[in-house]
Amino acid sequence: MKQLSRAPWFGPLCAVLAVYALFALLAPQTFTRSANVLTMARQTVIVSLAAIGMTLVMIQGGIDLSVGSTVALTTVIVARTLDGGSGAWTAAAAGVALGACVGALNGLLVTGLRLLPFIVTLGTMSALRGAAKGLANEQKVDADPKGLDSLMALPGGAHGGFLLPTGVWVALALAVVFAAFVAYTRPGRHVVAVGSSLETARLCGVPVGRITLIVYVIAGAMAGLAGVMEFATLTVGDPTDSIGLELEVIAAVVIGGGSLSGGRGSVAGALLGALLLTEIKTGSTHVGLPNWVQEILTGAIILVAMALDRWREQGRGSG
């Protein structure tokens, strides 16, 4: 039990269960319906995918503020690719590839110019948003989704059979892959080493530059994939989409045990963090809370979760 409670995802799991129980009490007829649980899982996919990438970046000691803009740009690229006559798979691949390129750009700027990641991605956040608007002629881009929308559709229709939408399975599979990457592979351990102490890692012979680049490319590709899922939900390319998404993603990672100063973070925790945010959003809708109350509530829950986590950390240190 003690072992279990030390896992970084233990705190967020408690929070997820507590908030679930609370809304189940407040809206007993609707909140626990299986349709609602399915809908929540589906609505968590986009933040989850981006949060997996952000977890790696934050473990490495960086941050990526360009996630929201990357997602918006990707929805536009996917719409444009589909519109140009390509199939669903090509368009999805183009979206992920674009994300990876954006990540490479972020990584190269961070390692090459030796600028702070916060500054670099603040710049690319604005530049990519502008690129998305330009590419979309400042309006939403209509395109026939050609089946891409089934990624996020609830099963039961023609594409059903696996209980959850394909997008949810994709997010879960990638979470397992990247959790294993951090825990068991050599480059994964290097990411933690760089985030814990950059100088020590460098002295120990860790290829810091290469590790940093890899991390940003992964984060970019994950943001691109999130953008593909976003397009699957919207079925239009929207250059003004996902403004502020990066903050939600960072909140998910931090709730999940990530640290803004690097060296710490958990993929599983980040997923639970993302789920917690969706729970609050959906629960507020079920209970009928006005938007302003919901926003205050979200902020308060994040702060409480963080404060408790810090308290637990200290308790562990002294005990």
Partner 1 sequence: MNRGVGRAIALVLALALWGCKRETPAPTAGSEGGREPLRIAVIPKGTTHEFWKSVHAGAVKASRELGVEIVWKGPLKEDDLKQQIDLVQSFTAQGVSGIVLAPLNDKALVSSVKAAAGAKIPVVIFDSDLASEDHVSFVATDNRAAGKLGCAHLAQKVKDKGGAVVLRYQEGSASTNHREEGCLEALKAEGVKILSDNQYGGATTETAHKASESLLLAQGATDGKVAGVFTPNESTTFGMLRAVEKANLAGKLGFVGFDASDKLVAGVEGGAIDGLVLQDPFNMGYLAVKTMVSHLKGEKVDRRIDTGSKLVTRANMNEPAIKQLLRPELDQWLK
C-alpha 48/C-alpha 172 separation (Å) is: 9
Among 8, 9, 11, 91, binds partner 1 (CB under 8 A): 11
- Pairing between β-strand 236-237 and β-strand 141-142 as defined by DSSP bridges: antiparallel
Q: Which is nearer to partner 1, 28 or 112 (CB)?
A: 28
Q: Which is nearer to partner 1, 241 or 246 (CB)?
A: 241
Q: Count residues contacting partner 1 (CB under 8 A)? A: 61
Q: How far is CA 256 from the centre of its chain?
A: 12
Burial 87-121, CB ≥16 within 10 A → b, else e: ebeebbbbbbebbbebbbbbbbbbbeeeeebeebb
The distance of closest approach from Cβ of residue 220 to partner 1 in the complex, given in angstroms and rounded to an integer, is: 20
Q: Which is nearer to partner 1, 30 or 197 (CB)?
A: 30
Contact call for residue 113 and partner 1 (CB under 8 A): no
The distance of closest approach from Cβ of residue 281 to partner 1 in the complex, given in angstroms and rounded to an integer, is: 7
Contact call for residue 233 and partner 1 (CB under 8 A): yes
Contact call for residue 297 and partner 1 (CB under 8 A): yes
The distance of closest approach from Cβ of residue 209 to partner 1 in the complex, given in angstroms and rounded to an integer, is: 36
Among the listed ranges 83-91, 92-100, 134-142, 254-262, the one in contact with partner 1 (CB under 8 A) is 134-142
* Three-state SS sequence of the chain: CHHHHCCCCHHHHHHHHHHHHHHHHHCCCCCCCHHHHHHHHHHHHHHHHHHHHHHHHHHCCCCCCCHHHHHHHHHHHHHHHHHCCCCHHHHHHHHHHHHHHHHHHHHHHHHHHCCCHHHHHHHHHHHHHHHHHHHCCCCCEECCCCCHHHHHCCCCCCCCCCCCCHHHHHHHHHHHHHHHHHHHCHHHHHHHHHHHCHHHHHHCCCCHHHHHHHHHHHHHHHHHHHHHHHHHHHCEECCCCCCCHHHHHHHHHHHCCCCCCCCCCCHHHHHHHHHHHHHHHHHHHHHCCCHHHHHHHHHHHHHHHHHHHHHHHHHHHHC
Q: Which is nearer to partner 1, 85 or 315 (CB)?
A: 315
Contact call for residue 24 and partner 1 (CB under 8 A): no
Residues 49-108 that bind partner 1 (CB under 8 A): none
Q: Which is nearer to partner 1, 14 or 198 (CB)?
A: 14
Among the listed ranges 138-146, 168-176, 192-200, 252-260, the one in contact with partner 1 (CB under 8 A) is 138-146
Q: Which is nearer to partner 1, 230 or 246 (CB)?
A: 230
Contact call for residue 154 and partner 1 (CB under 8 A): yes
Contact call for residue 252 and partner 1 (CB under 8 A): no
Among 60, 129, 132, 241, binds partner 1 (CB under 8 A): 241
Residues 191-220 that bind partner 1 (CB under 8 A): none
The distance of closest approach from Cβ of residue 28 to partner 1 in the complex, given in angstroms and rounded to an integer, is: 12
Residues that bind partner 1 (CB under 8 A): 5, 10-11, 14-15, 17-19, 21-22, 26-27, 29-31, 33, 35-36, 38-39, 42-43, 138-140, 142, 149, 153-154, 230, 233-236, 238, 240-244, 281-282, 285-291, 293-297, 300-301, 304-305, 308, 312, 315
